[in-house]
């Protein structure tokens, strides 16, 4: 994490024991026993064990694992819907496990909104009234809460549906209402517990994309629980992978895929289509040579022949990509005595950003065998991708 990034939540040494003898269970844990052995000896379930991590301001952090891994217990410990057995959860200098009931209520209202898997809408309330509910129980003025709810509904694409009832909406639309209700509360942290799991696959994909777009606009700190690896890889800035109540790896999606921490993680990610995860950045190679727009035909021919190229990219002095010229056209211009190649520059070639998934690149390789230009947001040329490099990157990632 860079120094410029702000930590929103710090979790340190968080554990949760379900049972009447938590101290005994933790003593056995400290002696090296694992969850099954502790359960066998004490009847106590070690739901979470010594969990520590940070959540960065504005990040979308995914916590994932199989059923029983502790992911839902963890998210509910963060706002003390489940009481932690030990550990610290610090948000904006408040240690949540140490708050009294009044302080906890105020902390929840300031910091936490939650979106559930089953939508949790009131069937007799309209979309607008459901979106207002959190504000209503906080005693917010009627006009203010109506305005906030309408704005949040607009944010999630439900403008015009304010007077509808939940049973008039599709599953995806109902989940949007739940998301709007959470956004209307204007809390600093959004907790999403398997929020899209009840949706069919196509609607689920749409909701994932909408969440990413919303995150891009609002930069809200979000903690998202899922058991679905594809979902985690699609939306997460970072991923925490849990097993038996313990963290087995924390990292960006690429780190989880390319540098699994142990055999469990390696087995967990088996079968992932790496072409959808790896990007043009991974297969990009340096550009051997470029031409400048004020170069003459003979200068460019020299560059082409020196580097055994059939074509060459043309850039300005800031390396902004202007286009491409081909050797035959430049050769003819030189024979004709032309002094400029500006009329020969064309942009009939593929270009992508560095984060373009590799699986999108295969269809871009043309019959003319142009490489794919990789450019940044300002169209500066960063490198090129050739088909062989894509195949080599995918083969190498499969061997890791």
Find how far residue 372's CA is from the centre of its chain.
Answer: 26
pLDDT at 2: 45
Q: What is the CATH number of the domain that holds 308?
A: 3.10.580.10
pLDDT at 358: 81
Answer yes or no: is 284 within a domain. yes
pLDDT at 77: 96
Answer yes or no: is 335 within a domain. yes
The band of 4, judged by pLDDT with boundaries at 50, 70 and 90, is low
pLDDT at 398: 57
Answer yes or no: is 136 within a domain. no
The structure's pTM equals 0.72
- Whether 300 and 329 map to the same domain: the answer is yes
Task: Kindly report, residue by residue over 10-22, the tens digit of the pLDDT.
Answer: 999 999 999 998 9
- Whether 307 and 385 map to the same domain: the answer is yes
Among 272, 295, 328, which residue terminates a domain? 272
- Whether 114 and 222 map to the same domain: the answer is yes
- Whether 285 and 364 map to the same domain: the answer is yes
Please check the confidence at residue 211 and state whether its pLDDT lies above 60: yes
- Whether 295 and 192 map to the same domain: the answer is no
pLDDT at 315: 94
Task: Kindly report, residue by residue over 307-354, the tens digit of the pLDDT.
Answer: 888 899 999 988 999 999 999 999 999 898 888 888 999 988 889 998
Domain that holds residue 295: 280-399
Task: Kindly report, residue by residue over 22-50, the tens digit of the pLDDT.
Answer: 999 999 999 999 999 999 999 999 999 99
Question: Which residue's structure tokens are 């064309």?
Answer: 346
Please check the confidence at residue 61 and state whether its pLDDT lies above 90: yes
Please give the Cα distance from 325 to 154 (Å, whole number).
48
Query: CA dist 16 to 12, 223, 391, Å?
Result: 13, 19, 46
Task: Kindly report, residue by residue over 248-260, the tens digit of the pLDDT.
Answer: 999 998 888 888 8
Answer yes or no: is 32 within a domain. yes
Among 272, 295, 326, which residue terminates a domain? 272
Answer yes or no: is 38 within a domain. yes
Q: Which residues of 137-164 are buried (b: 16+ CB within 10 A; e: fewer)?
A: eeebeeeebbebbbebbebbbbeebbee
- Whether 244 and 389 map to the same domain: the answer is no
pLDDT at 266: 87
- What single-letter DSSP state applies at residue 279? B
Task: Kindly report, residue by residue over 356-367, the tens digit of the pLDDT.
Answer: 888 788 778 765
Taking residue 291's Cβ as centre, other Cβ atoms within 10 Å add up to 24
Q: What is the CATH number of the domain that holds 199?
A: 3.40.50.300
pLDDT at 42: 92
Structural domains counted in the chain? 2
* Helix, strand, coil percentages, rounded to 5, for the chain: 40, 25, 35
Question: Which residue's structure tokens are 């297969």?
Answer: 283
According to DSSP, the residues that pair with 189 across neighbouring strands are 112, 221
Kindly tell me the sign of the dihedral angle through the C-alpha atoms of 266, 271, 272, 275: positive
- Whether 115 and 198 map to the same domain: the answer is yes
Task: Kindly report, residue by residue over 84-129, the tens digit of the pLDDT.
Answer: 999 999 998 899 999 999 999 999 988 998 887 776 788 899 998 8
Please give the Cα distance from 69 to 234 (Å, whole number).
21
- Whether 52 and 113 map to the same domain: the answer is yes
- Whether 99 and 230 map to the same domain: the answer is yes
- Whether 373 and 300 map to the same domain: the answer is yes
Of residues 4 and 226, the one with the higher pLDDT is 226
Answer yes or no: is 130 within a domain. no
Task: Kindly report, residue by residue over 131-190, the tens digit of the pLDDT.
Answer: 888 888 888 888 888 888 888 888 888 888 989 998 888 888 888 888 888 888 888 899
- Whether 108 and 213 map to the same domain: the answer is yes
pLDDT at 399: 54
Please give the Cα distance from 234 to 208 (Å, whole number).
8
pLDDT at 1: 46
Answer yes or no: is 328 within a domain. yes
- Whether 30 and 90 map to the same domain: the answer is yes
Token duo for residue 316: 């300005």
Among 203, 237, 272, which residue terminates a domain? 272
The band of 209, judged by pLDDT with boundaries at 50, 70 and 90, is confident
Q: How many CA atoms lie within 13 A of 342 on its CB side?
A: 5
Answer yes or no: is 56 within a domain. yes
Task: Kindly report, residue by residue over 269-321, the tens digit of the pLDDT.
Answer: 876 766 667 788 888 889 989 999 889 999 999 999 898 888 999 999 889 99
């Amino acid at each position: 994490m860079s120094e410029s990034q702000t930590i929103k939540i710090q979790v340190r040494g968080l554990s949760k024991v379900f049972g009447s003898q938590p101290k005994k269970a933790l003593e056995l844990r400290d002696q090296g026993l694992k969850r099954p052995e502790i359960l066998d000896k004490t009847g106590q379930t070690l739901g979470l064990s010594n969990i520590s991590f940070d959540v960065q301001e504005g990040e979308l952090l995914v916590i994932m694992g199989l059923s029983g891994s502790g992911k839902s217990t963890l998210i509910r410990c963060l706002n003390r819907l489940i009481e932690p057995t030990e550990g610290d959860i610090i948000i904006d200098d408040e240690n949540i496990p140490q708050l009294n009931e009044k302080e906890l209520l105020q902390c929840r209202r300031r910091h936490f909104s939650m979106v559930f898997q089953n939508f949790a809408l009131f069937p007799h309330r309209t979309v607008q009234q459901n979106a207002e509910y959190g504000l209503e129980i906080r005693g917010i003025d009627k006009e203010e809460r109506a305005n906030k709810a309408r704005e949040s509904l607009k944010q999630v694409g439900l403008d015009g549906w304010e007077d509808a009832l939940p049973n008039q909406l599709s599953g995806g639309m109902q989940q949007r209402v739940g998301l709007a209700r959470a956004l209307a509360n204007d809390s600093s942290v959004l907790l999403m517990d398997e929020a899209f799991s009840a949706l069919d696959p196509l609607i689920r994909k749409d909701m994932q994309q909408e969440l990413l777009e919303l995150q891009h606009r609002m930069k809200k700190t979000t903690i998202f629980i899922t058991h679905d690896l594809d979902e985690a890889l699609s939306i997460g800035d970072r991923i925490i992978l849990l097993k038996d109540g313990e963290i087995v790896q924390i990292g960006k999606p690429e780190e989880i895929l390319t540098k699994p921490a142990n055999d469990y993680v390696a087995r967990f990610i088996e079968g992932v289509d790496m072409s959808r995860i790896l990007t043009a950045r991974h297969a990009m190679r340096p550009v051997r040579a470029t031409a400048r727009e004020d170069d003459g035909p003979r200068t460019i021919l020299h560059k082409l022949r020196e580097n055994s190229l059939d074509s060459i990219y043309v850039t300005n002095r800031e390396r902004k990509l202007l286009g491409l010229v081909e050797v035959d056209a430049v050769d003819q211009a030189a024979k004709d005595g032309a002094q400029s190649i500006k009329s020969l520059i064309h942009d009939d070639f593929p270009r992508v950003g560095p984060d373009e998934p590799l699986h999108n690149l295969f269809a871009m390789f043309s019959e003319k065998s142009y490489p794919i230009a990789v450019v940044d947001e300002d169209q500066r040329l960063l490198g090129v991708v050739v088909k062989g490099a894509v195949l080599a990157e995918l083969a190498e990632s499969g061997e890791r």
